[in-house]
Amino acid sequence: MSTAAGTLTWSPASERTDLLAAPVAAAIAALPSARVAEIDPELADTAAFCEAYASPPQSSANCVVVAGRRGGETRHAAVLVLATDRADINGVVRRHVDARKISFAPMDEAVEVTGMEYGGITPVGLPEGWPVLVDEAVVAAGAVVIGSGVRGSKLLVDAAELAALPSAEVLALAQPTG
């Protein structure tokens, strides 16, 4: 598909749902280009993954779950940025989800509300109604590697399909990292 594929052998995700978290498997049809590859779960974190499998960081996108609060109500959202970037959580994301206070969701909470493993959380198969905020650089990257809902595999997808997810919104989310 691209250099994002690195040294892995990829299969159509729709044919290998055994490598996906249950909510991801249930929603994978929304990404017809999605391919999946099995990886060592110990190498699921982005830097280790990119090094071990020769996948460039600028072709990997990280998904984080944020929890915004306003008036006693908690709102969750997913934020997708390239591995080379950081999202402006306290600025752009906080304002976009209309929260007075926002933070990364605690690990236990993120795992519970998504049905996915920490370190494998992905924008595919999230709870209905969650905003999926996709940085414009992710879309511009073309094919990107993202989580599969579990630490033992990765998805390779056309970022335009991520931008077309029903709850996705493409925004300028990245902030300078240096």
Per residue in 138-163, pLDDT (tens digit) is 999 999 999 999 999 999 999 999 99
Q: How many CB atoms lie within 10 A of CB 117?
A: 18
| C-alpha neighbours within 13 Å on the C-beta side of residue 37 | 20
Give me the sign of the Cα torsion angle 31, 118, 72, 133. Answer: negative
Looking at residue 3, its pLDDT comes to 61
Q: Does residue 1 carry a pLDDT above 50?
A: no
Looking at residue 57, its pLDDT comes to 93
Residue 177: which pLDDT band, with cuts at 50, 70 and 90? low
What gap in Å lies between CA 55 and CA 43, rounded to an integer?
Answer: 12
**What's the mean pLDDT in 103-117?**
96
Q: Does residue 53 carry a pLDDT above 50?
A: yes
Reported as type and span, the H/E element at residue 169 is: strand 168-171
Contact of 16 with 45, CB cutoff 8 Å:
no
Chain centroid to CA 104: 14
User: What tens digit of pLDDT does each residue of 5-17 get?
Assistant: 789 999 999 999 9
Reported as type and span, the H/E element at residue 162 is: helix 159-163
